[in-house]
């Protein structure tokens, strides 16, 4: 599944990192907890944020038994609708800000990650951003700014998907036609 997200140039791009983490960024994410832990519908489920200079998207990937696919899709869509309509709490925003800051700090110790970050910032913004600059940007995220992001970027009418597996077209046409 995929849905639109902020671009590198978007003022709300840091909020996209929070939304991605909340959705499927790890074991504490909503999709992991509801789809895998509570309902046992998938072997794995995760989301990833992809940002480019002029567009972005969030992908959601899951691996499941084909018999559980319909409920997995319905549960995922329910979590997306719940996030869009109810947003996040201050506690959730603070938790995921800390999680992202930690990941950035750990990632900055990897030469390839750091070089990619410098190159992207140079190409998009014409100036490098230090790890401290990025940490400060994340610190400024608020519940209100995340809700603004959800309002303007999380368009569930544009949710799309693809299935991979045996006889996908014939067995799962219910999803492709909805």
What is the per-residue DSSP string for 46-57? EEEEEE-SS-EE
Domains of the chain, each with CATH number or no CATH? 2-176 (3.30.830.10)
pLDDT band for position 168 (cuts 50, 70, 90) = low
pLDDT band for position 147 (cuts 50, 70, 90) = very high
pLDDT band for position 120 (cuts 50, 70, 90) = confident
pLDDT of 124 = 84
pLDDT of 86 = 97
pLDDT of 169 = 56
130-136 contact pairs (CB < 8 A, 24+): 131/104, 131/105, 134/104, 135/101, 135/104, 135/105
**Token pair for residue 123?**
């190409």
- pTM assigned to the model: 0.88
Interval 16-31 mean pLDDT: 96
pLDDT of 160 = 92
Does the pLDDT of residue 178 top 90, yes or no?
Answer: no
pLDDT in tens, 36-63: 999 999 999 999 999 998 999 999 999 9
| DSSP one-letter code for 160 | B
pLDDT of 173 = 52
């Amino acid at each position: 599944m995929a849905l639109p997200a902020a671009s590198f140039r978007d003022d709300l791009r840091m909020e996209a990192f929070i939304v991605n983490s909340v959705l499927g960024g790890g074991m504490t994410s909503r999709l992991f907890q509801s789809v895998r832990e509570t309902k046992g519908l998938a072997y794995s489920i995760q989301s990833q944020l992809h940002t480019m200079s002029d567009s972005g998207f969030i992908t959601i990937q899951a691996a499941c038994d084909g018999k559980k696919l319909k409920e997995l899709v319905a549960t995922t869509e329910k979590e997306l609708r719940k996030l869009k309509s109810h947003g996040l709490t201050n506690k959730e925003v603070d938790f995921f800000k800390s999680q992202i800051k930690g990941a950035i700090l750990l990632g900055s110790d990897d030469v390839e990650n750091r070089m990619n970050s410098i190159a992207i910032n140079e190409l998009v913004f014409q100036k490098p951003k230090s790890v401290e600059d990025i940490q400060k940007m994340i610190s400024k995220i608020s519940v209100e700014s995340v809700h603004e992001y959800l309002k303007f970027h999380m368009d569930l009418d544009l949710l799309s998907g693809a299935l991979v597996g045996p006889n996908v077209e014939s067995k799962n046409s219910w999803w492709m036609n909805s």
